[in-house]
Amino acid sequence: MEYNDYREKIGLIKQGTLSLTSNVEGFLSRIEKEKHLNAFNFVFKDAVERASEIENKILEGKAGKAAGLVVAVKDNISIKNKPLSCSSKILENFQPVYTATAVQKLLDEDAIIIGKTNCDEFAMGSSNENSAFGPVLNPYDNSRVPGGSSGGSAVAVAANLCDVALGSDTGGSIRQPAAFCGVYGLKPTYGRVSRYGLTAFASSFDTIGPFAKNLNDLTLLLNIISGYDEKDSTSQKSGEINLTENVSKSTIKIGLPKEYFGEGLNPEIKTRIEEIINRLPSDNFEIIDISLPHTEYAIATYYILTTAEASSNLARYDGVRYGFRSKDSATLKDMYENTRTEGFGKEVKRRIMLGTYVLSSGYYDAYYRKAQKARRLFKEDFINAFKQADILLTPTTPTTAFKIGEKSTDPLEMYLSDIYTTSANLAGIPALNIPVGFDANGLPIGMQLMAPELKEPELLNAAYLINKFL
Ligand code: GLN
């Protein structure tokens, strides 16, 4: 599809050079052709009818800010009267009765939703292998994972099955798959985007965020979905982001946290990122070495707190209220037990057990309370770092995309693939993946930028400027 970004697309539609209906038909036939990637759980064929309505609105000059933008939505985000599975058997045949605020805002601006994307079950995973719909394949090498949990959304964008996509990020689930698939992916500040309609995994970490092929589309999508929502008491007001604003007026101080460049980082990723840092001109950028001293505790803290929250959030799936119910149970208690035994996958059960354990009265102080205290230390690490630097620059992942099956038998090994991403969720700050090239096997390499809370304008403008030196 012959345009570089949405701005160009809408221009072509207005000129009459591009038909929105055939654009959407084109995406639908590509989805069909690339079916083996398994990026979508559900595809909405009625997107074509909506395209023709919106095309008329565009030509009449009455269309919204995202008119004709074709969006794929992670299947843990609600759309009224469409299936919502969270890639879990326990939500079999479930359809929500309301639409997530982020999706509603897109619909109000005349975007077109093309389908729901595959993900790890309840967004728990780093490889998209924990899905009742089967694994998603990396478009660069079909024997490799796309990352997770928002693997389907990353692949939908990377394989050009849509313009942009929504994902969710609790500990890296937007940035890590974006890195593995060579696209842009942003985890916004906690609360910048309403969580209303996002299926809760770990409520104090969960965020909805955008995937895109370029920064313009990413910014457009973020601007539309952001904002205070009375249906989410943790949501916050935020201003409009303008990408050309403020670029290169003063030097940007880039902090390099030493803990992110040590042992475990693939040398090719390290070399590529160092090469980029060396290319940044000194009249625009000042490079500063900094430290985030508690980094080594991030994964442990993250898994204590998120499993605790998950064990509580997932108590609602009991066979009574949603989707799947086990047949032939003698008593109510059996029905609960059988439904959860048959309905949840292995990783989800592991997390419910871990979470129940860390919250149990005998262990609460030793694990849960301790981890809450540790969380404060991560926040302080970042507060101190941002006294010295405007933006932090790190790798997004320690390796490029790994093989399907390579880590699925070793949960700890799998958890370590989020070593550079979980800290931003612990601290609630925004973080962006930028695709910065390929390794010797032709697999995408990702670089991460982080900024203080609600400083997405500075974050995206720094990315915009850095892009010129890639
Ligand atoms: N991979 C991490 C996990 O398994 C992050 C998941 C996410 O961000 N939703 O918890």
Which atom number of ligand 1 is nearest to the Cα of residue 303?
A: 10
Instruction: Let me know if residue 175 belongs to a domain.
Output: yes
Which residue numbers are catalytic? 74, 149, 173
Ligand 1 first shell, C-beta below 6 A = 123-126, 149, 168-173, 201, 306, 418
Helix (H) or strand (E) holding 112: strand 112-117
Which atom number of ligand 1 is nearest to the Cα of residue 347?
A: 4
Q: 89 is written with which tokens?
A: 């058997």
| pLDDT for res 249 | 60
| pLDDT for res 246 | 53
Q: 364 is written with which tokens?
A: 């609460």
185 and 178 in contact (C-beta within 8 Å)?
Answer: yes
Provide, rounded to the nearest whole percent, the portion of the chain with pLDDT above 70: 99
Say which residue, 263 or 78, is predicted with more confidence.
78
Find the 213 Cα to ligand 1 centroid distance in Å: 22
Which of 119, 126, 199, 201 gets mutated to test ligand 1 (max ligand atoms within 8 A of its CB)? Answer: 126
Which atom number of ligand 1 is nearest to the Cα of residue 302?
A: 10
Find the 303 Cα to ligand 1 centroid distance in Å: 9
Domain encompassing residue 38: 6-225
Question: Which residue, 278, 288, 316, 299, is CA-closest to 88?
Answer: 316
Q: Is the pLDDT of residue 1 over 90?
A: no
Instruction: Let me know if residue 118 belongs to a domain.
Output: yes
Confidence bin at 244 (pLDDT 50/70/90): confident
Instruction: Let me know if residue 137 belongs to a domain.
Output: yes
| pLDDT for res 250 | 78
Q: Is the pLDDT of residue 221 over 80?
A: yes
Find the 63 Cα to ligand 1 centroid distance in Å: 37
Q: Is the pLDDT of residue 245 over 60?
A: no
Distances (CA, A) of 467 to 222, 279, 328: 19, 11, 59
The residue nearest atom 4 of ligand 1, judged by CA position, is 125
Hunting for tokens 């490889």 — which residue is that? 127
Q: Is the pLDDT of residue 361 over 60?
A: yes
Q: What is the mean pLDDT of the chain?
A: 96
Domain count, the chain: 1
| pLDDT for res 413 | 86
Find the 428 Cα to ligand 1 centroid distance in Å: 15
Instruction: Let me know if residue 464 belongs to a domain.
Output: no
Which atom number of ligand 1 is nearest to the Cα of residue 417?
A: 1
Q: Is the pLDDT of residue 456 over 60?
A: yes
Say which residue, 249 or 321, is predicted with more confidence.
321
pLDDT digits (tens, 9 = 90+) for 280-331: 999 999 999 999 999 999 999 999 999 999 999 999 999 999 999 999 899 9
The contacts of residue 29 (CB under 8 Å, 6+ apart) are none
| pLDDT for res 248 | 57
| pLDDT for res 2 | 86
Find the 204 Cα to ligand 1 centroid distance in Å: 13
Q: What average pLDDT does range 367-378 have in this prediction?
A: 98
Which atom number of ligand 1 is nearest to the Cα of residue 126?
A: 1
pLDDT digits (tens, 9 = 90+) for 75-115: 999 999 999 999 999 999 999 999 999 999 999 999 999 99
Find the 306 Cα to ligand 1 centroid distance in Å: 9
Instruction: Let me know if residue 451 belongs to a domain.
Output: no
| pLDDT for res 135 | 98
Confidence bin at 70 (pLDDT 50/70/90): very high
The residue nearest atom 10 of ligand 1, judged by CA position, is 124
Hunting for tokens 């943790």 — which residue is that? 234
CATH of residue 184's domain is 3.90.1300.10
Question: Which residue, 349, 433, 399, is CA-closest to 124?
Answer: 349
Instruction: Let me know if residue 206 belongs to a domain.
Output: yes
Which of 145, 173, 180, 311 gets mutated to test ligand 1 (max ligand atoms within 8 A of its CB)? Answer: 173
Instruction: Let me know if residue 205 belongs to a domain.
Output: yes
Instruction: Let me know if residue 217 belongs to a domain.
Output: yes
pLDDT digits (tens, 9 = 90+) for 155-200: 999 999 999 999 999 999 999 999 999 999 999 999 999 999 999 9
